[in-house]
Structure 1
Amino acid sequence: MTVSALPSAPLHRRLFAMLYDALLLLAILFIASAIPLIFTGGEAIEGHNLLLTGYFLLICFGFFGGFWTHGGQTLGMRAWRLQLIRDNAGALDWLAALLRFLSGLPGWLVLMLGLAVYFNPQIQLPGILRWLQNLPHGSIVLIGLLWLGFDNWPNGWRERITHTRVILLPKDRG
């Protein structure tokens, strides 16, 4: 059986792989957050710093892009026997990885926003997002989870945009 003929990965496996990868990425971001402190003499950096946000996004893209372009599997995907392939069964290049990363950001941003509001109800959201504070706090988290679920559904819009597919690899018969 060719790789392109393998079935699409089920949603529950994708979500567990995302959780696994999120824990790994959190550890990497924790370590990476020490580097900017060198330039500030150990002083905390204001939360609305665009340069710092860009730095962390670059770290996240490097994590996912590096794995996707070198074998099509993050560590979480490897643990759950998932692989990201192109529709033509070729390897992902950095441009396709960037497009996949950027098209996945909205779901993660909604989820993170929901978690921030859920755990800190007094948080002041900027301008257009302020109306979200009137919603029940858990509903934003639910919206983010649903968005991620539909975003990672087989043949979802992100997979159509990037011409990729996450497949379920067979168990080793060894």
Structure 2
Amino acid sequence: MSKPFPELEGELRQPSLMRRFAAMIYDGFLVVAIWMCTGFAAVGLNHGEAVSGPLFQSVLFLLTFAFFAYFWVRLGQTLGMQAWKLRVQTLDGRHISLRQALIRFMTAIVSFACLGLGFFWMLFSSNKATWHDSFSETQIVLLPKN
């Protein structure tokens, strides 16, 4: 059973698509930094030769998932989400599980692969949910200012 987040004053609202994209851009920079550090380490371990192939790509993929899963499951927020006052939570206001994080991550990849259709879906959804929100039974909420 996941633990609930502390109660906040006021009603939590759904963030705009632009706010979500801003947080994703912020997190994208962090992911690229992780990839670069991994690449530097891999080249060093490979005696200065370039590293490529399915094993290296799999390591990058797993590190990317680990980044998002750690922050989503433990804190409910990545660093980009903290900067933009966003939080991912279950529909009843609790921390998401590792399973939900995996579903959310994989569905977000599909959303990107469909030219962002899964993200733009929130503009037409009655509850402002993206594909990865719906499939993982999670939601993004806008936290009130302190």
TM range, smaller chain = 0.7 to 0.9
Instruction: Report SS of the residue matched to 1:33.
Output: helix
Query: Is residue 104–residue 151 contact of structure 1 (8 Å, CA) maintained in 2?
Result: no
- Structure 1 distance, partners of 2:107, 2:84, is 23
- Structure 2 distance, partners of 1:74, 1:33, is 22
Normalised by the length of structure 1, the TM-score is 0.70
Q: Any unmatched runs of 5+ in structure 2?
A: 1-6
Assess, with a 3 A threshold, how the Cα gap between structure 1 residues 30 and 167 changes in structure 2: closer, same or farther. same
Runs of 4+ in 1 over 4 A off after TM superposition: none
Q: Does 1:155 align with 2:129?
A: yes
After TM superposition, give the deviation of residue 106 of structure 1 in Å.
Answer: 2.2
What's 2:23 paired with? Answer: 17
Residues 116-172 of structure 1, C-alpha deviation per residue, up to 9 Å, x if partnerless? xxxxxxxxxxxxxxxxxxxxxxxxxxx63x436326652122111101000001111
Normalised by the length of structure 2, the TM-score is 0.82
Give the partner amino acid of 1:61.
F
Residues 28-61 of structure 1, C-alpha deviation per residue, up to 9 Å, x if partnerless? 1110112222442221124xx1111110011100
Residues 80-124 of structure 1, C-alpha deviation per residue, up to 9 Å, x if partnerless? 00000101222112111111111111234x3xxxxxxxxxxxxxx
Report sequence identity in percent: 31
Between Structure 1 and Structure 2, how many residues are aligned? 135
Q: Which has the larger radius of gyration?
A: 1
Assess, with a 3 A threshold, how the Cα gap between structure 1 residues 152 and 102 changes in structure 2: closer, same or farther. farther
Give matches, 1:108-147, under 5 Å: 108=112, 110=113, 144=115, 146-147=116-117
- Structure 2 distance, partners of 1:22, 1:152, is 21
Assess, with a 3 A threshold, how the Cα gap between structure 1 residues 161 and 170 changes in structure 2: closer, same or farther. same
Give the partner amino acid of 2:39.
S
Assess, with a 3 A threshold, how the Cα gap between structure 1 residues 82 and 92 changes in structure 2: closer, same or farther. same
